[in-house]
């Protein structure tokens, strides 16, 4: 009887704790107001996030390597889980930043949240249409950040579980086809 080769043990562990742990979502926050920068940074730290804060959309693009000065070489290791940006900023607005991010192949998957002190419906619609994950009214509350974090963690866990299930399916199919070949 032909030997059936068992597939190699899956490297992926069943331990989802590295995702589910309240660890280190890395957030890039963009705001031209020094008061708001201090505030959002603390808000995010208290919510167990790693935070990078910049004072303009231009600097945000520089940080991401999207400013045209560098290509994305060297930025592959940059792991950002969320971008939170103020809407009204001098120079480039948060909306324009959102568009640039969604146009980039490297970063378009990253959720972008827009923050604004003004509750203007057409503005909100425009941002959501352009792919914003959420639109928060300032001043942002701790509860808003917690809600964001929770939904991001859920989305990551779901994606992770999908990967596991898919790999298991492949594994099962692999065994099945081997058994067939061995005519068991």
Partner 1 sequence: MNTVIAQLQRRFQDYIVSLYQQGFLDNQFSELRKLQDASSPDFVSEVVSLFFDDCAKLINNMSRSLERPENVDFKQVDSGVHQLKGSSSSVGAMRVKNVCISFKECCDVQNREGCLRCLQQVDYESKMLKTKLQDLFNVSFKALQNPTCSAARATNTPSWRYNSSGGYKLD
55 counts as binding partner 1 under rule CB under 8 A: no
142 counts as binding partner 1 under rule CB under 8 A: yes
Give 26 or 146: the residue with its C-beta nearer to partner 1.
Answer: 146
When binding is defined by CB under 8 A, the residue of 19, 38, 162, 163 that contacts partner 1 is 38
Give 58 or 178: the residue with its C-beta nearer to partner 1.
Answer: 58
48 counts as binding partner 1 under rule CB under 8 A: no
22 counts as binding partner 1 under rule CB under 8 A: no
User: Is the peptide bond between 139 and the residue preceding it cis, with omega within 30 degrees of 0?
Assistant: yes
Residue 35: how many CA atoms within 13 Å on its side-chain side? 3
For the segment 79-108, give every residue that binds partner 1 (CB under 8 A): 88, 90
Q: How far is CA 168 from CA 3, 49, 71, 112, 154, in A?
A: 21, 32, 37, 32, 21
Give 18 or 48: the residue with its C-beta nearer to partner 1.
Answer: 48
When binding is defined by CB under 8 A, the residue of 7, 22, 91, 139 that contacts partner 1 is 139
42 counts as binding partner 1 under rule CB under 8 A: yes
Which of 5, 57, 46, 56 shows the shortest CA–CA distance to 22?
Answer: 46
* CA pair distance 75, 171, nearest whole angstrom: 33
Joined tokens for residue 32: 């031209």
């Amino acid at each position: 009887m032909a030997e059936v080769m068992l597939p190699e043990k899956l490297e992926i562990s069943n331990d989802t704790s590295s995702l589910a742990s309240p660890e280190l979502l890395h957030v890039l926050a963009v705001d031209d107001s020094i008061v708001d920068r201090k505030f959002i940074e603390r808000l995010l730290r208290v919510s167990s996030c790693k935070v990078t804060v910049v004072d303009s959309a231009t600097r945000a693009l520089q940080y991401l390597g999207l400013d045209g000065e560098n290509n994305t070489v060297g930025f592959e290791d940059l792991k950002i889980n969320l971008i939170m940006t103020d809407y009204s900023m001098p120079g480039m607005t948060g909306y324009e930043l959102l568009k640039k991010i969604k146009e980039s192949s490297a970063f378009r998957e990253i959720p972008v949240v827009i923050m604004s002190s003004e509750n203007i419906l057409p503005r909100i619609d425009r941002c959501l249409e352009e792919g914003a994950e959420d639109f928060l009214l300032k001043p942002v509350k701790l509860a808003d950040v917690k809600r964001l974090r929770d939904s991001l963690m859920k989305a990551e866990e779901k994606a992770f579980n999908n990967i596991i299930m898919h790999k298991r399916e492949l594994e099962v199919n692999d065994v099945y086809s081997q058994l067939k070949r061995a005519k068991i």
